[in-house]
Amino acid sequence: MPSAKILESKKAMVKELADRLNNAQAGVLADYRGLTVEQDTELRRKLREANVQYTVIKNSIIHFAVKEAGLDGLDSVLEGPTALATSVDDVVSPAKVLYDFAKDNESLELKGGFVEGEVISIDEVKKYASIPSKEVLISKMLGSLLSPIGALARTLQAIVDEEATPGHGGSEDAPAEEAKADEEPKAEEAPAEAPAEEAAEAPAAE
């Protein structure tokens, strides 16, 4: 019979796991048997990059934890070695990373999962895995928001460029008209009459 110290340790582990399940947005259980050390290391790296917590846990601990967290439906998949991947801020990442990895590594088998406190089947896990990641969705959303602004900016710039084109608009035609007027020849002035003094100096007829 386990000692009181061991029982207390297990109770603490169950409570910790139950709290983790309650705080998680989503989680996926998987059988990792057959993965090589290199494959396991690569999987853990991908999960860390996606901010997903991943641990191998004894089924006996998971059994009590899922009951305490109200996820009793997961109890039926607790056969063989079990690894748990959870995320506190993304419902897609646990399913996406594990499913994408399992497609290239058949030794990893998905068992089931949960999303926002509801147990989901393997087929539903795969559906969540097909949803773009949060970063991709945010990028697409920003792109759709910025697209109209970019179109407006291009339209305004086109108007500015058109207005700046020489000869466009009435106000810019004025200098051309003034230049044309300056080019017209001025009327020749009539020669002035000779001064009276010059007339007096003319030699008289003999």
pLDDT of residue 92: 94
Write the pLDDT tens digit of every residue in 73-96. 999 999 999 999 999 999 999 999
CA–CA separation, 96 vs 73, rounded Å? Answer: 21
Identify the residue with better confidence: 170 or 79: 79
Q: Tell if the pTM clears 0.85, that is, is over it.
A: no
pLDDT of residue 94: 96
Could you tell me the pLDDT band of residue 204, with boundaries at 50, 70 and 90? Answer: very low
Short-list 47, 40, 44, 84, CA closest to 62: 84
pLDDT of residue 55: 96
3-class secondary structure, 114: strand
pLDDT of residue 4: 85
Calculate mean pLDDT across residues 147-153: 66
CA–CA separation, 115 vs 87, rounded Å? Answer: 10
Packing angle, helices 122-129 and 93-104, rounded to 10: 100
